[in-house]
Chain A
Amino acid sequence: MGSAREGRDANDTFAKLLRSHVAERGQRPAFRHKDFGIWQTWTWAEVLEQTRAIAQGLLSLGLDRGDTIAVAGANRPRLYWSMTAAQMIGAVPVPVYADSVADEIAAVLSHSEAAVIVAQDQEQVDKILSVRDRLPRLRHLLFDEPRGLTDYDEPSLHALEAIMAKGRAALSDARLAAALDRRIDEGVGADPSVILYTSGTTGRSKGVVLSGERAIAAARDTVAFDKLTDRDEALAYLPLAWVGDHYLNYAQGLVAGFCIACPESADTAATDLREIGPTYHFAPPRVFEALLTRVEIRMEDAGALKRWLYRRFMAVAKRCGEKIANGERVPWSARLAYRLGDLLIYAPLKNALGFSRIRVAYTAGEAIGADLFAFYRSIGLNLKQLYGQTEAFLFVTAQTDRAVRSDAVGPPAPNVNLRISPDGEVQFKSPGMFVGYFREADKTREAMTDDGYVKTGDAGFFEPDGQLKIVDRAKDVGRLKNGQMFAPKYIENKLKFFADIREAVAVGDGRDFVTAMINIELASVGNWAERNNVSYASYQELAANPQVCAMIEKHVDAVNRSLSEEAMMAGAQIRRFLILPKELDADDGELTRTQKVRRGFIASRYAPLVEGLYTGASEASIAAEITFEDGRKGKLVGTSRIVDMAPFPRTKDACAA
């Protein structure tokens, strides 16, 4: 932790940074939010005033240095300001996932010992009140949107507005205003700045403590890396509690001084994106995938001329778009065709998606399909990959503008030390790395090596060009009975690159061969069904359709072919698969809140199906009582046909290995 002392400067906390923006660009826009159909804008000067009002209000509630303040809700300016306000008085903000159920919130709130929670609206307040008796340390509940909350009889419940008014009144007293400034000055970069709870892919979520100076140092490096300035603009639509939002919007926004726009609601994010036209953007691969699916569905329904133009020019883009983006040499005729395509198709398409002004876009979190990635690159979107972790405060690797590829995640980000341990695990030391897990010193020790590197738990290796390639979670990589390496996620990702497949779960560790359970994508398979006059009433009915099954079989076959071409993976081809009779859902505990499959949980819930895959049956049924995460009980009933696959022989390369 010696590096913490390096590069110290006057603005080593976010509260101080906010103050500095008022001096440098007080009248530039800092936040936007669409409310009642109109974009409201706050300048940096206004944001400082509002934030100070919240901070003083929090003080008046008896909060003090070292307290934790939870923030629950969607991306709203006042929730972001509440985080800065907490940092101003030396308290530590803890953002909470807005879509968590009451139990999850209770777990985070009680572990972080939050004294105050700032909730967005009635929905959040109701959840918290329902677990109130489990939270003895929670003293006050503030809410941003009063709708529906007016006749709540709960003495510890206050409108944020009212607390701000109180704070404002207090700050008109010059002595109190000066005291608040002193408090901000007293904050030091080594203080904890925020606690981010991991999403819990692996066991119970842990509170990752980040310090101000490290967070700011990391954000400075990447702001310089992507040349972000106060003229940039981003749409903040990712969960507040996720490291990605806290880094890309909150930290980088406060370091570079760019404007953060908050959408009107989660449902309107796509429209808001179009209206704002951000210059800096992040979206997980599944969002890009959903957008592409939508574009293609719309193109299927478009007129013949439009469809022809689209096909024609997407072919041009596919041929030379990426080369042009990467600055390679391209014949002038192709360049001309691309220009024309830009005029007729790419630019209007990007405009419709809200991507017109984007200079830098990132995707991360899971593997992205080569075709999907190439699609966006080829229409001129500067889409890159990064690899990151909450413990690193996001960036571990990032691709540079001119060296972008879909199957690797880039070289180490600036000032990041990266190494692969002898057993194949990726380990790093980075400027933004965490201070430790909150109140869990033993877990912190477990996560670090003796020489101070953070263990990512991911298995990976470096490609010849220096880019890191991630295969799977280190602990998920298993072996078949015959010793063949089995990397489930690697196989699942190959399956998921097909638009018809939404989720896949590969099974094989300790077994004779690999099998897979598949979720079809309702949007794309449903569209196919409509076009082919296949009627269906539900996901379950569509999943059981033999034609759908045949279609998926083709995809699985293609995956097997591609696996057969890789030395390490040829022995891990899928021998049998089935289509799950139910859509995997985060509400039912089958996916994490960040939409990753919980493999072990699924394997035990669907045990009868897994059994069927390995007994040689031609179909398997499941009928089980299941308890959903919110305590409801439900019935899970369904039958799946099991399909046998013929493996491909190893190709020559593979034999040599």
Chain B
Amino acid sequence: MDLLRAIFIDPFAQMIGSPDLLAQTIWEGFVGGVLYALIALGFVLIFKASGVFNFAQGIMMVFAALTLVGLHEKGVPAWVALILTIAVMYALAVGIERLVLRPLVNQPDIILFMATFGITYFLIGLGELVFGGNPKSMITKELFLPGGSIDLHIPGGRVQLQKLDIAAAAVALIMVAGLALFFQKTRIGRALRAVADDHQAALSVGISLNQIWVIVWFTAGVVALATGIFWGARSDVSFALQVVALKALPVLILGGLTSVPGAIVGGLIIGIGEKLGEFYWGPLLGGGIESWLAYIIALAFLLFRPQGLFGEKIIERI
């Protein structure tokens, strides 16, 4: 009886009792969710355009952040380092298209999936070789990212918002809006949607798959860089960070592999659900549930809506 009470009554009583704590928890979950969404977005973009489930997305995030910080450590000014990192991500996209995708075109999906494992280990090796394996801290100040926090007064108390988190949310929002606009309104965007829709037809109107692949991988790389900067700023920049990328998996289960809105909404659900679970129900289980709760949320959701949030039916392609 007590256990039921502790599960079904107490947490909600707590939420209502101190709305400021609730708001604080939701905010933190929201920021985490936004970053999960960005990672998932990278997966979705690549999957849509090339049918490849990109296992390396998490590592691309770390690699991008590492390159940025590493270049700065070697004495390159922050903004030059940023531009150089973007250039590196472009070179990476071109390299992957030339050396991995092009030779493997028309191979079964599983081969391409395995190839992304290769990319993962290649990037880990390359990163350690060039920049060393020690954890580094993100160059937030040099990138003019704000520090400190602001207090927001709400009925029932106050919520503390880290300025960095606000910036993360804002950047994520701008990126998503920018991408949406790009895909809806430009020729490249139209070509990209065409490729995602029907490869053969896209080829017949003269859309070059190779060009589209470079663009998509590069875009995913830039998204990875943005994610890496903010995750890096919250903890350290090291290869341990790639486990964060695993959080994208439940997001994808929830949102579907091909749905951009799915990735965003799924990311927010996982982010907020995970924080609420940890804060209100975590103590019951002795804490530490954050690492697996996301999967439980996703699986529970699938029980009721097997086709995922926005219902596209391509899940069997994994």
> Do A and B have CB atoms closer than 8 angstroms in the complex?
no
Residues of A within 8 A of B (CB): none
Residues of B within 8 A of A (CB): none
